[in-house]
């Protein structure tokens, strides 16, 4: 009896140890080389901070606004604090002029924003931060030019410590240019010049705020983990040149708000400091779509000689994701990606984040039973990424390199912009556990001579910052050109955008084409990154659906179901296809009009959604949900 009791106690202890984390190695801090930090504006690009006590003053609300079609604003000094602005109108920030101004829809131009505010004291080092502007921004504060930034969808900032007037009226002026050219990101394209594949909503589309804190601050943090519980956090700390002092750094890790690891405080007295915080947690609780709650948080507190402190915190997870031998492995387990593409677009809000819309989309993604998504062709609002990973949905995050031709891929200006966008995206989102793939290009002219070098540059850029995640391109399907693809083999994952039966050929041609791709790239992991057909919600045909002329589709819900069923049946017979993503979750605005209908049913609208733009399911939605449920049961 006593022996049985001891066995019960022993096994009970094992259960406890498997439930709670405990430390098995001594915490260690070591200096590392301080590599030049990537800049965004006049400040280093920041890794997204998930929690902290930096004081923020959001500059959201109604701003003054004026179009500048003739581009005379700079010459006439519209940035001057003395400018009357009596004829300027009001507009919401965050927002777009396409939806926020009565004459703004689908208007590619230059516009000016102005905002007056009176800030209190919020710290000895003050930043002005923009989370995203489309497309190019030039910024003035109290008539002084702070700088400019030309990469949309990504954050940037300026040091305004000396130019900000505390407890006095300040005026912030921003010139925004949403025009696309051959050298911008995204770029004007060859196939549809002056008519972009998604809507180039103009404006200050994401939050703007002042952020105050200590003279010393954490600029970037990269957390590297293993499924065995080993981790290290590389932290890059900078100080104000005029106020350098000794600062104490103290770091710890929490899991479900309980401290599971900590390091002894360390003093810092350099203008630039790079530290590696090392340790091991055992047993680690691994993040996965089934266990998205397994999030850890790395905290770092800086305290100056006056006792003032600032804390920042970053979510991270223990998990691994690999693309090797033609498969995906999540935490060492072969994983099939059941996904869908999603644009950051809504008929009422455009690309501006709305929590209600996001919750509805998350619920619909749950009904589809997806474990993966590709959120548009650009870095999404971080709140989108966090909402997806909270539900256990993995992501491929992409930069807006779209349908570039050979001349563009050889252009040094565009190459530099693409590299910079990729660097900023990786720096911002490095620690996001849901992001498992970096995507560096979509539908480029991969048969052109400049393509291999262009993709190699982006691949090397991604791997230099993050060797752990696979790198992907989404390849365009034009049968007579795609067989000459000379660049997709440079990456780890090849996404295939195929539209047999919609733009080209018949639905039944997909299988043979995919087999040819696999024979050309037998060592690569292949996914269907896009496939889809358009349907207008509520449009029906009475006859049995079948193949349709590619220039005269019915846009019926019946054909859309037929199209997807034909493709899904072929994908299921190809074991080398390791993921499927219909294009697209919901209908969205775009500028070009497809030649796939006589006429296309709705101008400026892509109708390939499983849902309407207002998130009403079409018949095909249930087909995808049922298929994914059946595939899940076979895993």
pTM higher than 0.85, yes or no?
Answer: yes
Which CATH number does 333-634 carry?
Answer: 3.20.20.80
Residues of the chain with pLDDT under 50: 1-24
pLDDT of res. 21: 40
Alpha-carbon distance of 326 to 598, in angstroms, equals 41
Task: Dump pLDDT digits (tens) for 100-119.
Answer: 999 999 999 999 999 999 99
Give which of 386, 391, 385, 387 is closest to 371, Cα–Cα: 391
Q: Are 494 and 465 in contact (CB under 8 A)?
A: no
β-bridge mates for residue 224, sequence order: 232
Q: Are 187 and 164 in contact (CB under 8 A)?
A: no
Give start and end residues of each alpha helix (H) in 301-411: 355-368, 382-390, 406-409
The number of beta carbons lying within 10 Å of the beta carbon of residue 240 is 16
Alpha-carbon distance of 221 to 298, in angstroms, equals 10
Sign of CA dihedral 50, 51, 54, 55: positive
pLDDT of res. 26: 57
Q: What residue has token string 């406890």?
A: 16
Q: Are 188 and 181 in contact (CB under 8 A)?
A: yes
Domain 61-206: which CATH number of 3.40.50.620, 2.60.120.260, 3.30.1370.30, 1.10.10.60 = 2.60.120.260
Instruction: Report the run of H or E that residue 99 belongs to, with start and end.
Output: helix 97-100
pLDDT of res. 579: 98
Do the bridges between strand 247-255 and strand 296-303 make them parallel or antiparallel, or are there none, so unpaired?
antiparallel
pLDDT of res. 244: 80
Q: Are 101 and 91 in contact (CB under 8 A)?
A: yes
Domain residue ranges in the chain = 19-40+214-316, 61-206, 333-634
The number of beta carbons lying within 10 Å of the beta carbon of residue 390 is 14
- Phi then psi dihedrals of residue 633, to 5 deg: -70, -20
pLDDT of res. 13: 40
Task: Dump pLDDT digits (tens) for 138-195.
Answer: 999 999 999 999 999 999 999 999 999 999 999 999 999 999 999 999 999 999 999 9
Domain 19-40+214-316 has CATH 2.60.40.10: yes
Sign of CA dihedral 309, 44, 42, 425: negative
Measured torsion, CA atoms of residues 254, 258, 263, 265, in degrees rounded to the nearest 10: 100
Concatenated DSSP letters of 191-254: SSTTS-SS----B--S-EEEEEE-SEEEEEEEEEE-TTSEEEEEEEEEE-GGG---EEEEEEEE
SS3 579: strand
Q: Are 257 and 295 in contact (CB under 8 A)?
A: no
């Amino acid at each position: 009896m006593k022996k049985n009791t001891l066995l019960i106690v022993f096994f009970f202890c094992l259960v406890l140890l498997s439930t709670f984390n405990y430390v098995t190695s001594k915490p260690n801090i070591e200096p590392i080389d301080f590599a030049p930090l990537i800049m965004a504006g006049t400040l280093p690009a920041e890794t997204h901070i998930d929690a902290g006590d930096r004081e923020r003053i959001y500059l959201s609300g109604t701003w003054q606004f004026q179009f500048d079609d003739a581009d005379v604003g700079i010459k006439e000094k519209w940035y001057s604090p003395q400018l009357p602005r009596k004829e300027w109108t009001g507009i919401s920030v965050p927002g777009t002029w396409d939806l926020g101004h009565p004459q703004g829809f689908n208007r590619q131009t230059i516009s000016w924003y102005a905002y007056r505010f009176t800030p209190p004291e919020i710290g000895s080092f003050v930043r002005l931060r923009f989370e995203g502007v489309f497309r190019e921004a030039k910024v003035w504060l109290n008539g002084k030019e702070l700088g400019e930034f030309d990469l949309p969808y990504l954050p940037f900032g300026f040091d305004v410590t000396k130019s900000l007037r505390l407890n006095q009226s300040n005026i912030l002026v921003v010139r925004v240019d949403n025009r696309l050219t051959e050298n911008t990101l995204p770029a004007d394209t060859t196939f549809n010049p002056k008519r972009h594949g998604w809507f180039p909503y103009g404006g200050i589309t994401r939050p703007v705020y002042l952020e105050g804190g200590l003279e010393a601050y954490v600029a970037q943090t990269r957390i590297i983990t293993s499924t065995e519980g080993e981790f290290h956090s590389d932290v890059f700390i900078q100080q104000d040149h005029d106020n350098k002092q000794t600062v104490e750094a103290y770091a710890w890790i929490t899991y479900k708000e309980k401290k599971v690891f900590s390091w002894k405080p360390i003093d810092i007295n350099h203008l630039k400091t790079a530290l590696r915080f090392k340790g091991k947690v055992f047993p680690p609780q691994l993040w996965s779509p089934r266990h998205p709650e397994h999030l850890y948080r790395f905290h770092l507190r800086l305290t100056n000689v006056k006792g003032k402190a600032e804390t920042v915190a970053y979510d991270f997870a223990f998990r691994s994701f690999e693309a090797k031998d033609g498969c995906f492995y999540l935490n060492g387990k072969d994983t099939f990606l059941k996904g869908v593409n999603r644009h950051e677009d809504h008929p009422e809000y455009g690309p501006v984040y709305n929590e209600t819309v996001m919750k509805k989309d998350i619920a619909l993604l749950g009904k589809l039973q997806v474990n993966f998504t590709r959120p548009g062709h650009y870095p999404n609002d971080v709140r989108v990424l966090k909402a997806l990973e909270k539900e256990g949905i993995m992501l491929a995050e992409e930069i807006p390199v779209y349908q570039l031709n050979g001349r563009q891929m050889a252009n040094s200006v565009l190459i530099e912009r693409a590299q910079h966008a990729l660097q900023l995206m990786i720096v911002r989102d490095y620690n996001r556990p849901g992001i498992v793939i970096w995507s560096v290009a979509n539908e480029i002219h991969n048969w052109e001579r400049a393509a291999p070098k262009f993709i190699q540059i982006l691949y090397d850029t991604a791997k230099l910052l993050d060797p752990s995640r696979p790198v992907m391109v989404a390849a365009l399907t034009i049968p007579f050109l795609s067989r000459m693809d000379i660049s997709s083999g440079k990456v780890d994952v090849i996404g295939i955008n195929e539209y047999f039966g919609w733009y080209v050929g018949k639905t039944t041609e997909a299988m043979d084409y995919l087999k040819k791709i696999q024979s050309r790239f037998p060592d690569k992991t292949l996914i269907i990154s896009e496939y889809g057909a358009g349907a207008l919600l509520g449009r029906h045909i009475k006859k049995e659906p079948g193949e349709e002329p590619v220039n005269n589709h019915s846009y019926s819900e019946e054909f859309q179901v037929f199209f997807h069923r034909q493709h899904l049946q072929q994908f299921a017979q190809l074991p080398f296809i390791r993921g499927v993503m219909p294009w697209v979750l919901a209908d969205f605005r775009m500028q070009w009009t497809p030649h796939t209908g006589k006429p296309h049913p709705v101008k400026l609208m892509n109708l390939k959604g499983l849902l309407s733009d207002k998130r009403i399911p079409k018949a095909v939605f249930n087909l995808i949900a049922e298929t994914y449920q059946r595939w899940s049961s076979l895993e």
